[in-house]
Amino acid sequence: MSINKLALMRYKTIDECLRNRYRKWTLEDLIEKVAHTLYEQEGITSGVSRRTVQADIQIMRSDKLGYNAPIIVQEKKYYTYSDAAYSITSAPINNADVEKMKEIVGILKQFNGFSYFEEMSEMITRLENNLYRRTNEGRNCIQFENNRLLKGLEHINPLYQAILHERPLLITYKSFKAATAQENIYFPYLLKEYRNRWFLIARSKKGKLLLTMALDRIVSFQELPKEPFIAYDGIDFDRYFDDLLGVTKTEKDRPHKVILHIDKYHAPYVLTKPIHHSQEVLKEDADGSIIIRIDVVLNFELERELLGFGEYIKVLAPKLLAGKIRKRLDMARGKYGPAGEG
């Protein structure tokens, strides 16, 4: 049994509602939420019938799509999952849908190489490999960087929808520095990935500055349909991160001219894989070493990148960055004691 687009949207909407433990959901609430989603995403103004949503719930409960969703009714009117950790997004897909997805991937592959699809090349390859493994168990043709223990990936799609449709969020967030989680209203603007971790760029209703929130530190969140959304004017997010490595930046940060000396052993690596897209070769020495320049914001991610080169790199400018790198290397050396000690 394959799923059409609108049915899948209804199932996912019901799933998101039932996963939200901060609210009790009656059938009427689910109908209203599904109708709102269909209107927001597809422009459907006719709503959705009571019978349709009831049938959707029965299909989700059944084995027809492999969901077997543990949907129960509490107090004779409130729908929820008996298993708080359950989601249909973690359920396996059936063979019919796998074949349909193969057809779609086959079509997408025909567009590989066209400029509009350059950024989709890795995604198409990843999809094709996953589908191949689904039907040819045990064989893997390509491996992508992946961290199976990484938390927060389940937040990506609902956060994307909130950004797309400009919906304020009530987010419970626990930073690494905080002793307890804090709950506040945020306006979400952008999702960004860096080194296989995802971050939400948002602004708190109580503040004026942009915040970078790691998805793996988000405890929970829910949309606030009655709260007015406040856009963040004056920033082009397509260019906002052009002048830095990573995601740590404020609106006041400006790029610095960072001059680096790379020894001959790592010069080929840096030439073939630039540290930053602004990289420019200033000098090539006779011994094979090079001096390069990058124009970037000075932040923690830049320091970590440079420290990763160890003794093969030297910061020539600015002095502020060179001093920070020297201090951190001295601290690291101090952890090992005098030379010769075990």
Is residue 286 assigned to a domain? yes
Number of domains observed in the structure of the chain: 4
pLDDT of 137 reads 58
Please list the pLDDT of the chain residue by residue as tens digits (342 residues): 445 788 888 999 999 999 988 889 999 999 999 999 898 888 888 889 999 999 999 999 998 877 889 999 999 999 999 998 898 887 666 666 677 777 777 776 666 655 556 666 666 676 777 666 666 655 566 666 666 667 777 888 889 889 988 999 999 999 888 888 899 999 999 999 888 889 999 999 998 889 999 999 999 999 998 899 999 887 888 888 999 999 988 888 999 999 999 999 999 999 999 999 999 999 999 999 999 999 999 999 999 999 999 999 999 999 999 999 999 999 998 888 776 565
Are 131 and 111 contained in the same domain?
A: yes
Are 212 and 279 contained in the same domain?
A: no
pLDDT of 102 reads 74
pLDDT of 1 reads 45
Are 11 and 82 contained in the same domain?
A: yes
pLDDT of 309 reads 92
Are 77 and 105 contained in the same domain?
A: no
Is residue 146 assigned to a domain? no
Are 264 and 310 contained in the same domain?
A: yes
Beta strands in the chain (DSSP E): 71-74, 78-81, 169-173, 182-194, 197-204, 210-214, 218-223, 256-262, 280-284, 290-296, 313-317
Q: Give the sign of the dihedral formed by CA 172, CA 69, CA 159, CA 10.
A: negative
pLDDT of 116 reads 58
CATH number at residue 56: 1.10.10.10
Note the Cα 210 to chain centre separation in Å. 17
Query: Residue 172 has which token pair?
Result: 């419970």
The secondary structure of 259-278 as a DSSP string is: EEEE-TTTHHHHHHS-SSTT
Is residue 68 assigned to a domain? yes
CATH number at residue 275: 3.30.70
Is residue 238 assigned to a domain? no
Are 78 and 104 contained in the same domain?
A: no
pLDDT of 141 reads 62
**What are the Cα distances from residue 313, in Å, to 17, 233, 255, 291?**
52, 39, 20, 10
| Domain final residue pick, 135, 166, 198 | 135
Is residue 249 assigned to a domain? no
Is residue 243 assigned to a domain? no
Are 186 and 260 contained in the same domain?
A: no
Listed as own residue / partner, the contacts of 33-41 with beta carbons closer than 8 Å and 24 or more positions apart are 34/10, 36/225, 37/9, 37/10, 37/13, 38/6, 38/9, 38/10, 40/165, 41/9, 41/161, 41/165
pLDDT of 249 reads 87
User: Cis peptide before 318, with omega less than 30 degrees from 0?
Assistant: yes
Is residue 35 assigned to a domain? yes
Are 85 and 109 contained in the same domain?
A: no
Question: Domain range holding 194?
Answer: 156-223
CATH number at residue 181: 2.30.30
pLDDT of 285 reads 92
